[in-house]
Chains A and B, each alone.
Chain A
Amino acid sequence: QWYQRRVTGERRSYVSVVKTINVFRDLICTAEWVTGRELIKIVKCYCKYLPLSQSNETDVSNVVRRILKIIREESVGPEATNSADGISAFFKTDIKPCNLGRSDLQDNILNSIVELLAELDTSKSNIVNMALEHIHSNERILTYGHSNTIRDFLLYGRKARDFEVIVCESGPSLKGHKMAAELSEGGIKTTVIADSAAFAIIHAVNKVIIGTHTIMADGALRATNGVHQVAMAAKFFSVPVIVCAPLYKLSPTHLCSYDPDAFNKVIGPEKMLNFSNANLHSKVLISNPDFDYVPSDLIELFITNTGGHAPSYLYRIISELYHPEDYDLDNMCVEDVEDEMAT
């Protein structure tokens, strides 16, 4: 019955993430388990019910990984987590597994989950408050398509600085139009250009600020279709590309194959070519991919809720946020949590 509470197709990733956490919170309270290990097994088992196999549900799977890490940390106990970093963990041979009973363990886990929720709550405002550090006056900023984070980022910057924004329409879906309308209502001078004009205009732009759907482990992006070529044009003219995204979008997955079909999701072409052109539809292969892979060397800076990071630093953040066992959520083999910490 809790599966039905899982909302699929939720556009705003933050909302779906919060709902997922609530679902798992209920699961932790109601399921039958005694040790942390059993709970991890249960959580991983229920993961199968979530549409995690779809490549675009990365926010949800990231949050599940965070929960699993919380469970692991809590079941090992406070001493081990304190000394988990650094050389001392190497030499510790006799960490006693924490023998917390279920109720204590559950309380600890639930408290940590509440902290996680608080962190997610403030993630957007943390990013937005950094706007003034990254926008100077009389700038021209290029952005692509629609992103709630970027919109709030720019509107916050408008309060103190005067700048101009150029928005790329973003292809068949024309999400850029919505972004432009929202930005100009907020008092920012906005110009809408076609995606094809990105190269023409980018030399006159000071920086490119974009949002993304997912950040991959090496700093690459899975972003809206068309971002890759804007980033390439920016690189050609040495215009910095800045990505603003909260950390729950950071996923410990890598690009497994360069085959675009393994990575991408293709949606219906009715926005590209009317079905009244049915004659053509039957003869022509029309592709309307939803995502774009942007390699990490095209990106200058990530602005996340914990601050600004270079793409090369993301591996460190991943090792803090997620446990290596959880990188592959389908992996059901859960080793002894206590044994692992002891080695």
Chain B
Amino acid sequence: MIGPSHLHNHSEAVVSTQSTGTVTEAQAPAKVAPIQEVTDSCGRVEILSHLKLYDRTIPPTQSLSFTSSKIHPAFVKLGVQMARDIVVGSNARCAALICAVKTFISDYKCPKSKEIRSHLNVALKPCFTYLAQCRMMAVSMENFIKHTKVQVAKISPDLTESVAKEELQQSCDNFFRENIYLAGKSITEKAVERVVDGDTILIYKKSQLILHILLEAKARNKNFRVMVVDSRPDLSGVQSCERLTAAGIPCSYVYINSCTYVMKKVTKVMLAADALLANGYVLGPVGTALIGLISSTYNKPVIVCCETYKFSERVQTDSILYNELADPDSMLKTLNEEDTPVSNWRDCPNTRLVNLVYDTTPPALVSIVITEIAELPCTSAPVVLRRGAVKM
């Protein structure tokens, strides 16, 4: 993984020389290891044992000390919000991270003997480590962190501290404005063109970008229906339904099992992506690949909307190499709060629950990716990445 390999052990962080190496949870000292990883093999699936599984019963702030923590309170708050799924969605999490970094920068005081451009990165590291331990970083967050590191390193040494801080905060704001806000608007413009009267559009779960597109299309008086496909355990599609019906868009709601049942009536499928990988695979919420498969079998166009800052250098061909394991107990939640037969799964050595967060959709199943630069096929992802690298 690209993210944690840049982050260092807290004990070495502040003054000593940098050393590379991946962080393993077992080695991280108690100060910066707030979440206990479940390391015993009970309840773990062998093919997924390379993915971290966190023990959710311990609060994220348990082992943080009040007085001498190196982690800024803004990051502590963000960490708890991420761990408890209060802040969800790739754009939202990145925006929240940008706010936390800006707060950090404004409170930051560079020590007399150091230069801001070498020290700030080192000071931010424990915060990022803490965040990664609360919940695995999204690709959008990782890309922002990379961007910040480069910006910090580029600060010229003859600027005063306050001017440098202002510049950094400005660059954070610019990142947000260009890559999230304006990119969102540009994608919406392009995507709304594709919604025609009489359409039935299928969307999956809740995505801020897709909802924005649909609400904008409605505002332009287009006449269409929406089919919301939802899946357990988080059932965020219900919130999509609420927002769409509030805007007056007629909605239907099904679980993902019934996707083949409804696919005949659908004219277009619009999906959001958490990332676009360099080999053209689309990383999205788990279930996206199934929807892509069913849609292409029934010959419905699959439109993926993704901002370019979410493009990643990573390549992979299947869904379990890079993934996140969410809380297994959330699979036990039923609507009536009743027990399911596997509620006592921790007592049964043979029962395991797996709650995957992401899956990858092969490029053959996607018709088009709409980004703020252009409308591309999936396979053009490396071109965009190179263009972005040249710009930086």
Which A residues are closer than 8 A to B by beta carbons?
Answer: 140, 164, 169-172, 174, 177-178, 180-185, 187-201, 203-204, 225-226, 228-229, 232-233, 236, 258, 260, 264, 270-274, 277, 280, 283-289, 292-293
Q: Is the CB of B320 within 8 A of A289?
A: no
User: How many pairs of residues, A versus B, come closer than 8 Å at their CB atoms?
Assistant: 182
Bound Cα distance A226, B231 (Å): 12
- Interface members, chain B 331-379 (any A CB < 8 Å): 331, 334-336, 340-342, 345, 348, 350-356, 358-360
**Are A197 and B238 also in contact (CB < 8 A) when A229-B259, A286-B253, A287-B261 are?**
no
Closest to A199 in B: B289
- Which residues on the B side are within 8 Å of A191 (C-beta)? 45, 351-354
Chain B residue contacts of A225, Cβ below 8 A: 257-258, 261
Tell which of B241, B258, B341 touches A181, judged by Cβ atoms closer than 8 Å. B341
Q: A195-B231, A196-B286, A260-B264 are in contact. Are A226 and B258 (CB under 8 A)?
A: yes
Instruction: Specify which chain B residues have a CB less than 8 angstroms from the CB of A264 in the assembled complex.
Output: 261
Which residues of chain B in 14-59 are interfacial with respect to chain A, using CB atoms and an 8 Å cutoff?
Answer: 45-47
Complex Cα–Cα for A204 and B107 (A)? 49
Complex: how many Å from CA A183 to CA B238?
Answer: 33
B181 at the interface (CB under 8 A from A): no
- Residues of chain A contacted by B255 (CB below 8 angstroms): 171-172, 195, 272, 288
Known: A196-B256, A225-B261, A289-B261. A190 touches B352 (CB 8 A): yes
Contact with B342, one of A192, A271, A288, A293 (Cβ below 8 angstroms): A192
Residue in B231, B286, B287, B341 whose beta carbon sits within 8 Å of that of A178 in the complex: B341
**Per-residue A-contact encoding for B279-297, CB less than 8 Å = 1, 0 else:** 0000000110110011001
Q: How far is the CA of A170 from the CA of B238 in the complex (A)?
A: 19
A272–B350 alpha-carbon span in the complex (Å): 28
| Cβ-defined contact, A201 with B261, below 8 A | no
A286 & B286 in contact (Cβ 8 Å cutoff): no
Q: Is the CB of B341 within 8 A of A197?
A: no
Shortest Cβ distance from residue A285 to the other chain B in the assembled complex, whole angstroms = 4
B69 interfacial contact with A, CB 8 Å? no
- Given A180-B342, A184-B350, A200-B286, A194:B233 Cβ within 8 A: yes
| Given A190-B350, A194-B331, residue A177 in contact with residue B293 (CB < 8 A) | no
Partner of B290, one of A177, A196, A285: A196
- Asked if residues A232 and B264 are in contact (CB atoms below 8 Å), the reply is no
Contact check, A229 vs B293: say whether CB atoms are below 8 A apart: yes
Q: Which of A236, A271, A277 has the most chain B CB within a 10 Å cutoff? A: A236
Size of interface on B: residues with Cβ below 8 Å to A: 55
Shortest CB-to-CB span from A11 to chain B, Å, is: 16
Contacts of B319 in A (CB 8 A): 199-201, 203
Provided the pairs A192-B331, A195-B257 are in contact, do residues A180 and B293 lie with their beta carbons within 8 angstroms?
A: no
Given A181-B341, A194-B233, decide whether A204 and B290 contact each other with a Cβ distance below 8 A: no
Question: Who on chain A is nearest to B285 by CB?
Answer: A196
B65 located at the interface, meaning its Cβ lies under 8 Å from any Cβ of chain A in the complex: no
Which residue of A169, A184, A273 contacts B348 across the interface (Cβ within 8 Å)?
Answer: A184
B320–A201 CB distance below 8 A: yes
B190 within 8 A of A: no
Give me the 6 closest cross-chain CB pairs, A-B, nearest first.
A196-B287, A226-B257, A184-B350, A200-B319, A181-B341, A200-B359
Q: Are A197 and B356 in contact (CB under 8 A)?
A: yes
B225-275 CB contacts (< 8 Å) to partner A = 228, 231-233, 238, 241-242, 245, 250-262, 264
Complex CA gap A226/B47 in Å reads 24
B115 within 8 A of A: no
The answer to whether B293 touches A199 (Cβ under 8 A) is yes
Q: What chain B residues lie within 8 Å of A197 (beta carbons)? A: 286-287, 354, 356, 359
21 A–B contacts, CB within 8 A, in A order = A174-B334, A177-B341, A184-B342, A185-B350, A188-B350, A191-B354, A192-B353, A195-B231, A195-B257, A197-B287, A199-B319, A200-B286, A200-B359, A226-B258, A229-B259, A233-B289, A272-B255, A273-B335, A277-B238, A285-B250, A288-B254
Contact B290 A284 (CB under 8 A): no
Chain B residue numbers with a CB within 8 Å of A182 are 341
B290 and chain A: residue at smallest CB distance: A199
| Nearest A-chain residue to B344, judged by Cβ | A181
Q: Does B12 contact A (CB under 8 A)?
A: no
CA distance A225 to B348 in the complex (A): 28
The interface residues of chain A lying within 8 Å CB-to-CB of B250 are: 285
Minimum CB distance partner of B328 in chain A = A192
Structural contact, A200 and B341, CB atoms closer than 8 A: no
Question: Which of A182, A190, A196, A277 has most B Cβ within 10 Å?
Answer: A196
* Docked pose: A289 CA to B253 CA in angstroms: 12
A234 and B330 alpha carbons, distance in the complex (Å): 27
Inside 8 A of B350's CB, which chain A residues have their CB?
A: 183-185, 187-190
**Is B258 touching A203 in the complex (CB atoms < 8 A)?**
no
- Please measure, in the bound complex, the distance between the C-alpha atom of A270 and the C-alpha atom of B336, giving whole angstroms: 9
Which of B293, B342, B356 gathers the greatest number of chain A CB atoms within 10 Å?
B342
Residues of B within 8 A of A189 (CB): 350, 352
A20 CB to closest chain B CB, in angstroms? 29
Q: Which residue of B lies closest to A275 (CB)?
A: B335
Instruction: Report the nearest A residue to B242, measured CB to CB.
Output: A280
CB distance B289 to A274 under 8 Å? no
Query: How many angstroms from the CA of A190 to the CA of B45 in the assembled complex?
Result: 9
- Say how far B89's CB is from chain A's closest CB, in angstroms: 17
Give the docked Cα–Cα distance between A292 and B261 (Å): 7
* A229 in contact with B352 given A194-B233, A199-B289, A287-B262 (CB within 8 Å): no
Which residues on the A side are within 8 Å of B241 (C-beta)?
280, 284
Given A184-B351, A194-B232, A174-B340 contact (CB < 8 Å): yes
Closest to B364 in A: A236
**Complex partner residue of A274 from B45, B233, B335, B354, CB under 8 angstroms:** B335
Partner of A292, one of B260, B297, B331: B260
Instruction: Give which listed residue, B238, B286, B340, contacts A280 with CB less than 8 A.
Output: B238
Evaluate contact between B261 and A260: CB separation under 8 angstroms.
yes
Q: Is B318 an interface residue (CB 8 A)?
A: yes
Closest to B355 in A: A194
Chain A residue at minimum C-beta to C-beta distance from B205: A196
Q: Which residues of A contact B289 (CB under 8 A)?
A: 199-200, 233
